[in-house]
Amino acid sequence: MTEDEFRSNQEPDGTTFNESALSVNAPELTQIEQTLADRQNIYGSFVKNSYISQSLKRAVRDGKNYDTLPDYQKEAIDMIFYKIARCITGDTSYADNWHDIAGYALLVENTLRNRKG
């Protein structure tokens, strides 16, 4: 995905997506659609968020130690990147994202400390 594609509503395959479709608060929206609209208002576009998150994850997987990490560390890294992507595409002041990032890091730290103790 190029930067222009990222900043537009066009996906790499040339199709477009309609972000405004989720931001409409019409009475016919189902509960799930309303939840999606609410999340988009906080976190931004799911497609753009996914692109950033997967790009970060791909970069880390090329690291020489990635394959030696236990699953809980890999999962924490994935979740931290997911939350970072949400910060970048959505509301950067939404404290829950930062709280969650700290929480995933603390889970790894606590697991490491408990295993050595």
How large is the greatest C-alpha to C-alpha distance in the chain, in angstroms?
56
Q: How many domains does the chain have?
A: 1
Provide the pLDDT for residue 93. Answer: 94
Domain that includes residue 44, residue range: 3-116
Q: DSSP labels for 30-54?
A: -HHHHHHHHHHHHH--HHHHHHHHH
> Distance (Å, rounded) from C-alpha 10 to C-alpha 2?
10
Provide the pLDDT for residue 14. Answer: 61
Burial of 111 (0-12, 13-18, 19+ CB in 10 A): middle
Provide the pLDDT for residue 116. Answer: 73
Q: Which residues pair with 16 in a beta bridge?
A: 10
Average pLDDT by stretches of 10, the chain with 117 residues = 62 59 60 92 94 96 96 98 95 95 98 86
Is this model's pTM higher than 0.75 or not?
no
